[in-house]
Amino acid sequence: MKIVVIGGTGLIGSKLVKKLGERGNEAVAAAPSSGVNSITGEGLADALKGASVVVDVTNSPSWEDAAVLKFFETSTRNLLAFGAAAGAGHFVALSVVGTERLLESGFFRAKLAQENLIKASSLPYTIVRATQFFEFVTKIADYSTEGNQVHLPPALIQPMAADDVASALDRIAANSPIKGSVEIGGPEQFHLDELARRALAAFQDPREVISDPHARYYGIRVSERTLVPENDARLGATRFEDWLNHATEPVAKAGRQQA
């Protein structure tokens, strides 16, 4: 089966292409670096020719309100049109758990617009809503840093490993479209402030994490359960502590060598 991954050279896309190929599929990594541009349409017709499944894991290079909306609307319209013309039977898109609860942000308004375009299209689809990735926990801390302090709310979060996101997409792409949304998440829930505190300590980052119920998540007000999936979410297997031990091994190794 030919499966084209749009955004196939990024964090999730590269992992997904590898997994799809290992299962015997013809997996195509489509990205501007390979001559495929979902904004201009360049290379899309050739890349999607004969494709059974199109998987969209693209992301906007800018989170500015107008730019991110233009990116997702333009890209999604192009992918749906070229996918339909190619006769694809399944359109899979990666989105975010809680998107409709995060509309204070232009990024999430753009993601909701993307989802609505997919739902209104003629292509059979599956929207995969994922929780935050382990790989981005320190970036959340960066966004919320003031001086040497990180201010984060104690909201619940159920993050997952990027590898588990790719595994879920791999399984979903190989199955029939559900014409609806699926939620995926990690196996454990944490309070956001404590998650950041553990991550920074493991990476030997000296910043202090302050638990602040008035602090924001990427500039968005969140309640206790804004960021977590429903109880029927499909859960990844990788625990945060195991991922953290692997991710910080170079830091630990450097410390041993200095000692």
Q: List all residues 6 or more positions away from 168 whose beta carbon is below 8 Å from its beta carbon.
A: 128, 130, 184, 234, 236
Phi and psi for 206 in degrees, rounded to 5? -80, -5
The C-alpha atoms of residue 35 and residue 58 are separated, in whole angstroms, by: 15
Contact 172, 197 (CB under 8 A): no
How much is the pTM?
0.94
pLDDT one-digit tens code per residue, 40-98:
999 999 999 999 999 999 999 999 999 999 999 999 999 999 999 999 999 999 999 99
Nearest-5° Cα angle at 178, 174 to 184: 75
* Confidence tier at 253 by pLDDT (50, 70, 90): low
* Mean pLDDT, residues 12-36: 97
Which DSSP string corresponds to 161-203?
-HHHHHHHHHHHHTS---SEEEEEE-S--EEHHHHHHHHHHHT
pLDDT one-digit tens code per residue, 82-125:
999 999 999 999 999 999 999 999 999 999 999 999 999 999 99
Find the DSSP H helices in the chain.
Answer: 11-22, 44-48, 65-86, 106-120, 137-143, 162-173, 192-202, 240-247, 249-258
pLDDT one-digit tens code per residue, 121-178:
999 999 999 999 999 999 999 999 999 999 999 999 999 999 999 999 999 999 999 9
The C-alpha atoms of residue 220 and residue 78 are separated, in whole angstroms, by: 30
